[in-house]
Every structure is written in C-alpha cells, then in structure tokens.
Amino acid sequence: MISLDFNFNVLTRDLSLYLENQVKVGLFGSGVLSLVLGFSAAYAYYYLISVAKKPQLISGGKKFYQFLRDQCPVVSETYYPTFWCWESRIQTVLRPFVTAKPGVSYRNELIRAEDGGQISLDWFDNDDSASHPNSATRPTVLLLPGLTGTSRESYILHMVQQSRDLGYRWVVLISTTPRTYCAANTEDLEAVIEHIQRTNEDAPLMAAGVSMGGMMLANYLGRKGRETCLKGVVVFSAGWDVFECTASLEKPLDRFLFNSYLTSCLQAGVDRHKSILEKSYDIDHVMKAKTLREFDERFTSIMFGYPTNDDYYHDASPIHRLKSVQVPMLCLNAADDVFSPSHAIPVEAVKQNPNLALLITCHGGHIGFLEGLWPRQSTYMDRVFKQFAKAVIEQGGDLNDLSS
C-alpha cells in the first residue's frame, strides 16, 4: 500500500564498495572509525529516506479532512519512529516496557448489566480542572482498552494524563468477565454510555478505543448510526477484518510472539470463572487451545450463540459496518501492524463515508508509535489523541453535518 522511495540496490552497491575499500585500508589506522562512520551515515540515510515519513490521511469528505488538517497538525507532520526500534514487532513488544506509567488514582464504580452481571468502571474525575471547574459540564472521555487490557496499561495512563492536561474527566471500561472477549457484542458498551450520559447529562462525551476496544466502538457506531450521544470517536490499531487479522497472527514468528501469549491471557480469564462457566462449556477443551482461532472456535463463538466461528468473525469485523457510522471517527493504523495487516485496512470503505477519516503511518506496530530518542513520556498515538480530543470537544460545532 505504501511504497518505499529508496533504491536498495544502490545502497547495497555503494556500501559494498565502501566496505571493500575499508578492508583494503585495514583496521590499523583510522579504519575502525571510518567503518563506524560509514555504517552510521548509511543507516541515517536509510532512516530519513525510508522510515521517517508523513502519514497518509484519508477521509470520505472534504469537510472532515480539512477539519483535521486545521485542528490536528500532527496528521500533517512527519512521524519519526524511535530510530533504534522502528520495526513493527520491536515497537509492539517494547512499548509496555520503555514508556512511563504516570501515577493515577481512580475511583471505581460497579454498575449492573442487563444480564445481571457487573460492569467495572474506573473514573478519573479531574476535580482540580482549571479549564472546566464545573463538574456538571466537564467534558468526559470514555476509553476502551485492548483485549484483556486494564486501566493500568501504559497507553491508558498516557491518555489519562493527556486528558488531565486538557481538564477533562476520564472513565475506563474494565474487562471483568469473558463477555468482553467478543468484539461483536456491544451490549455492555451501550449500557455504559447510557449510564455516563444519565450521570453527566450536560457534559459532552467522546470515546477512544484501542485494538479490540476500537473494534467494539466501531461496531457500536455502525449499529447505532445517529442514535448515540458521542460527539466523536478515535480508534487506535483496530483490526478491521478479523479473518485477515487472525491469519496474520498465525504466521510462525507472530504466533510465537503474540498469538500464544494472548491465547493464554484469555484462558486465564476463563479459568477465573471456571466454576460458573464449566456448567455450560467444555472448559478443559477451551484450556487446550493453542491459538486465538482455536479459543474462539471452542469458547467465544459458542458463548455468543454463533452457528460457526466464521459467522462470529464476520459479525465482529467492523469493516462491514463502516458505511453506517454517523459520528466523526478518526482511525489510526500503522501499515506494518501484524495484528491488522495493511491490505485489510479499509481505505475504500472510509472513502465512501464523510464521517470517517483514516490516518496511516508507515511504521508504529500495534499500539506502539514510539518516537524520540528515548520514548518514555509521549508517543505519536498520544499526540493524535490529545489534539483530536481537544478539537472534538472545543471545536465540535465544525463537525456538524459532515455530509454537506
């Protein structure tokens, strides 16, 4: 989808000639230093030409496109991935370890779901907000973490910090039961949004979803159309076609790095509720699953009443509902994300809906988007979130009737 404007043959030829010359010179004089400088120059050249690039911004309407260009300068800036870890898998694996975890004190709330279960919400009320001192009208941001994610994930804490700086209130929907493992099921999400609206009737509400959370948000918007109180939505690293996402994660290296680990996390969640679930499901069979596909075949698709796992995957894929989204939604994906392969990013579907915009970076991995020499405090994803959240809350009137 995104081509590299760099001639590898030229680089290889020139570098080979350089190294051959250095070998002839020998390592007795300045050869080692020259060799290091040569490699550094070649790497810097490659990085600047082929790695650091401006993202691709795609929208179905000129109005939304121009709004983003005017209010969110980050969409037009060159993204400089951390130069020593720009590769997709390295970004994905390192992000939880190298990014800081700001201290946040949450207020937990449990609400009753329609099926009798409980939904856990972690609130950050931001009562010290200088820009929005009135709690009744303080803007609220709802966040849905990724699969098995919590309010203590580094990417969550970073966005909470961004919201705190903006003076907004924040609430995180926490996964407490296996019901949240289904990207197609939005009942709990609907209940949470309705609860937040009743609790803060005069406060504008927007939402952000990461990975699986983004898929649920997109599916929710596709089902609700205009019947939602959300003013805007931003989605990060969502998987748009579950068939393609699953197939990508079944490649040998990605199965080893990610698939098996995520499967074990899901199994741990099932095991915590084993005493209840074993009455209806073959838990021993579920616990023997080696991949996400096997887990979904043995548990998720059955739990939610799908005839086959293929039926579940089709229903869970947000790409089929994008045409029905009626709320401004910005989606950030990296073209090298192995969880959401580039060929499955819904470019054409986004072009058909004026309420949608897609921001594609060449690099960034899955929820990575690391930038800077040592990416402790902020990522490219954080900057996209902060600018878009501020634009939606403070300039949201410009987003009315994007089809015009």
List, as own/partner pairs, every contact residues 275-284 make where C-beta atoms lie below 8 angstroms and the sequence separation is at least 24, other chains included.
277/178
Alpha carbons 187 and 113: distance in angstroms, whole number: 8
Identified catalytic residue from 337, 340, 378, 382:
337
Label residues 246-281 b or e (16+ Cβ within 10 Å = b).
bebbeeeebbeebbbebbeebbebbeeeeeebeeeb
Active-site residue, 336 included: no
Active-site residue, 337 included: yes
* Ordered DSSP codes for 322-364: GGG--S-EEEEEETT-SSS-GGGS-HHHHHT-TTEEEEEESS-
Q: How far is CA 302 from the centre of its chain?
A: 27
Residue given tokens 């709320």 in the structure block: 327
Active-site residue, 211 included: yes
Nearest CA to 219 out of 150, 116, 144 is that of: 144
Identified catalytic residue from 211, 301, 340, 378:
211
Cβ(64)–Cβ(343) under 8 Å?
A: no
Active site residues: 211, 337, 366
